[in-house]
Amino acid sequence: MSLPGVFLVGLRGSGKSTIGAALAEELELPFTDSDVELERENHMSCAELLESDGIEAFRQAEARLYLRLGPRMHLWPCVLALGGGTLEAPGVRPLLEALKARHGWQGVWLQAPPAVLAERCADASRPRLAGRSAEEEARLLLVRRASQYAKISDLRLETSRGSVSDLAQQLALRLRPRLVGTGE
């Protein structure tokens, strides 16, 4: 019997990469960051991909990545950090729903207030929405994506307080009973 995986959703700066890596260590699973995989596959950073090709092409690249990996994802359980807008990419949401329904994967929404997200992303290299402050952008994206995150997630974790290690340990404690005995 294999242990199912965990995928993390949330806005940029919510801790998907940092807490995800620590959570993977806690659960003794590999860690996969979809942004890193996307950069590897496209031979450029996510920021460069966004700047050169635009948001629609970026979402299509995300969709291609997941549609290529999707049919085999249940074979390599991991902690998977999704990009903040990955659920907007065509075909990704049904893939994640199938991983949950058929293979016991768990979805976790990492949350933090827009002001905290803005502070964490102050020096981020990714372009922001035209003419918006980082905090205003976080508020707008939260309004747009909250229902998507809520529908796909089994758990939520507030990440604005506590160390990365403490947050990963808290999440691992909540996830272990859900993961044990649910894999194929």
State residue 131's pLDDT score. Answer: 64
State residue 31's pLDDT score. Answer: 95
- Cα 182 from Cα 97, distance rounded (Å): 15
Average pLDDT, the chain: 88
Amino acid at 14: S
Read off the pTM.
0.89
Cβ atoms of 138 and 117 within 8 Å: the answer is yes
Given a cut of 60, whether residue 97 has pLDDT beyond it is: yes
How is the chain split into domains, by residue range?
6-173
State residue 28's pLDDT score. Answer: 93
Cβ atoms of 179 and 133 within 8 Å: the answer is no
* pLDDT digit string, tens, across residues 42-83: 898 888 888 888 888 888 888 888 888 777 777 778 999 998
Q: Which fold has domain 6-173?
A: Rossmann fold (3.40.50)
